[in-house]
Structure 1
Amino acid sequence: MSWSFDSPLRTLSDEEKVRKDEVLWENDNLGGVHEDNNPVPAPVVWLVGLTVVTAFAITFPLWGQRPTAALYEPYVNSMDKPEVLAAKDDKEAMARIVAMNKGTPNDALLERHPLTMDDLRIVAPQIKALESKGAHMHDFEVVGDKVVTANFEGNYRADGSRIRQQPWWDKGYTIDLFYLSYFFLSVFIMIKRLPPTSWQPKHDH
């Protein structure tokens, strides 16, 4: 029952294994269910491919992206503006802060990571403390109610500090590419070890 790579798109089994599989297929009643030897329907293949491509496309460039301190820095700096302080409640104050900071490249990120006024009050002192130190705000992430150093280690800057910013190619992509490749290769091998689809069982019994 050796492997055969002469025609991998037809079958990965040698003739001996193909003949044995055909005999087994014909002699086993499969619990009364007559299974034919048909190829995987093309629409199913296209649907799986579309699902994978779509999943990667809508999450590009990062999976598990966290908001940085730099993202909320404009919000923090808007908290003490007169129009914000004049708001009748926290909801209106937050709406005014959001409106003030619209029209930037960060609009999509801010929409995906919204804050309430209470959230902003919690992280504001931490962000201001980083500002006072002259820290690189993109090197810090907001995780829950904490502003922490990002868990990334990049190159060193001229001032000796290390770049701690999430790379455009996230580890999640590498992991998913590995598992998707493993999955599709396994399915391909499993299917191609069967007799070629040009043969169909007769279901005589």
Structure 2
Amino acid sequence: MKFGGSLISSIDFPEKISLVIFFAGCPLRCPYCHNPELLKNGKDIDVESIKRKISSSKDFIDAVVLSGGEPLFQEKEVEEILKHAYSLGLKTKLDTNGIYPKKLNSIIKYLDYVSLDVKAPFTKYKEIIGKNVGSEVKESMKILNKSKVYLECRTTYVPKLMTKNDIVKIAKEIDCDLYTLQQFRNETVLDPYLKNIEPPKVEELKKIAKTVKNIVKKVKIKTIEGEYTI
């Protein structure tokens, strides 16, 4: 598999200590991507070594989180790792851009939690990230809504690339247990142009979150300063 690294985290799976495994490779080229080094690169390793790492960590972790890149770019390895984590009684979480609904459906039985990136209103994906995949993301959301998986939808708010009205439209289109509005950060981005765009202020994000609070079930904001439930 193409491996992008790993770490132990107390924040990637809420209220759980998790081993986060980063998969390299992604078919999208979002201009504000904060892990551009994982788009193509990655270390070739045997999936068995990842399974051994999970086994050796099981006494001090509660969960395994698969992130990226886009994990489902390597769906066979994802399924094998999820099966192994489940066999050890660990909780599992997938971070995904949602463009592979069929692949997602095939491994959903091994998942407890999914963070689904909703990068734009479904009809504006081409305009905002350059690829018309909104219908695939919408289908992934529908599949997850039919399951028992806890679903978090999350959007990175990038000023000038999107508007506050885009966030309101997204809120009206999604159906999830939690909607997370993430603060854009300009330190590491794929498109150099975005380095000149100031990240939104925390108070601005809080104001937007309050606007959509009555539309979604639950909303929080995630910033460099911390997380806030609105």
Q: Which has the larger radius of gyration?
A: 1
Richer in helix (by share): 1
TM-score under structure 2 normalisation? 0.20
TM-score under structure 1 normalisation? 0.22
Q: Point out which structure has higher relative CO (alpha carbons under 8 A, 6+ apart).
A: 1
Richer in strand (by share): 2
